[in-house]
Chain A
Amino acid sequence: MNKAAIIAQIEQEFSQRFRVIDNTGTDKKVVAGQFPDVIMMRPEPPPNSDILFVMKIESGENLVDSVAEWKELGSGSGVLYIIVPDHRLDLTKKLASATNVRARFAAYTTAKDGTVTIRYE
């Protein structure tokens, strides 16, 4: 999984609508006691601290280990998006539903040339 490419795609897609923060660097922001990979905030008027979305990008492996983190992130005021590989989407949804995680989902696919496509639900 190329997390940087996925985040770049998210930034490209939404930077007009939101303040998109890549939270995978060194200066990480804490949301609900966790470190989401991407934070989306209200664009105007700056400065504001209204978190609209938090995103967690998963490789699709060991999803069960992430449930506790999802739960925390899903309990915050921002909507949690769990972004998983397309072939793991159904499994992720079932897992989230079974563990009462409040989240929305998105599935990503990576083409052979490295182009990332994300489908949001």
Chain B
Amino acid sequence: MSDLTLVAIGAILGAILAIVGGYVGDEVRAWRERGRERKSIKICLSDELHDIETTIGSMHQVWESAQLFHPSYVTDLIGGTSSYDTLRPRLFLIKDQKLRKEIGDFYKKLKDTARKTEGKIGTLAQTQEAAADQSGFDSSFQTLAGEAKTLREKLE
């Protein structure tokens, strides 16, 4: 084999190595970015779930002390799902399929429960119906607070 051929083969191999190296480098960079994004998604959701727990806790405190379910807390809950709403299309980055489903189900349940309270809470009417409604909502939101805590622990 002539020197020229060896040089040519070396150049080709070098080019191939450079291409493969570049590709691998890109993949590694993308993999690390996905890892970082996954971490930030988990932190954002975890913080939001903590806020939801806190709001439900305050709501329950008012319920305990004044037998009242105040609508401002529900407004806070509805307005406090922005992290999930924004990050929803990127949730696929969380590898655990079951956890992803649990997150989606939790937020759906939260929004549905909040919607159900419309017009039924924040009343001073001392009827049995109003009391039963409000007591039912307290139980539902307490369950949600428990689920939020479990999810948060899974995310952390």
Judge if B70 is at the interface, Cβ distance under 8 Å: yes
Interface residues of A in 5-50 (CB under 8 A from B): 14, 17-18, 42-44, 50
In the bound complex, do residue A17 and residue B123 qualify as a contact, i.e. CB atoms below 8 Å apart?
Answer: no
Interface residues of B in 46-87 (CB under 8 A from A): 62, 65-68, 70-72
In the bound complex, do residue A17 and residue B67 qualify as a contact, i.e. CB atoms below 8 Å apart?
Answer: yes
Q: Mark A residues whose CB is within 8 Å of B.
A: 14, 17-18, 42-44, 50, 52-53, 77-79, 81, 104, 106, 120-121
Q: What are 7 A-to-B residue pairs whose CB atoms are below 8 Å?
A: A17-B65, A42-B62, A42-B66, A43-B66, A44-B65, A52-B68, A104-B123
In the bound complex, do residue A104 and residue B65 qualify as a contact, i.e. CB atoms below 8 Å apart?
Answer: no
Closest residue of chain A to B70, judged by CB?
A: A52
Judge if B4 is at the interface, Cβ distance under 8 Å: no
Chain A hits for B126, CB < 8 A: 120
Chain A hits for B6, CB < 8 A: none
Number of A-B contacts (CB under 8 A): 36
In the bound complex, do residue A120 and residue B123 qualify as a contact, i.e. CB atoms below 8 Å apart?
Answer: yes
In the bound complex, do residue B70 and residue A121 qualify as a contact, i.e. CB atoms below 8 Å apart?
Answer: no
- A81 to B122 alpha-carbon distance, docked (Å): 10
In the bound complex, do residue B124 and residue A81 qualify as a contact, i.e. CB atoms below 8 Å apart?
Answer: yes
Chain B hits for A77, CB < 8 A: 72
Judge if B1 is at the interface, Cβ distance under 8 Å: no
In the bound complex, do residue A18 and residue B71 qualify as a contact, i.e. CB atoms below 8 Å apart?
Answer: no
In the bound complex, do residue A79 and residue B71 qualify as a contact, i.e. CB atoms below 8 Å apart?
Answer: yes
Interface centre among B67, B68, B124 (most CB of A within 10 A): B124
Judge if B7 is at the interface, Cβ distance under 8 Å: no
Closest residue of chain A to B125, judged by CB?
A: A120
In the bound complex, do residue A43 and residue B124 qualify as a contact, i.e. CB atoms below 8 Å apart?
Answer: no
In the bound complex, do residue B66 and residue A53 qualify as a contact, i.e. CB atoms below 8 Å apart?
Answer: no
- A121 to B71 alpha-carbon distance, docked (Å): 15
Interface residues of B in 92-110 (CB under 8 A from A): none
In the bound complex, do residue B124 and residue A14 qualify as a contact, i.e. CB atoms below 8 Å apart?
Answer: yes
Closest residue of chain B to A43, judged by CB?
A: B65
In the bound complex, do residue A79 and residue B122 qualify as a contact, i.e. CB atoms below 8 Å apart?
Answer: yes
Closest residue of chain B to A55, judged by CB?
A: B124
In the bound complex, do residue A42 and residue B71 qualify as a contact, i.e. CB atoms below 8 Å apart?
Answer: no
Closest residue of chain B to A78, judged by CB?
A: B72
Q: How far is the CB of B12 from chain A (nearest CB, A)?
A: 72
- A106 to B125 alpha-carbon distance, docked (Å): 9
Q: How far is the CB of B74 from chain A (nearest CB, A)?
A: 12
- A105 to B124 alpha-carbon distance, docked (Å): 10
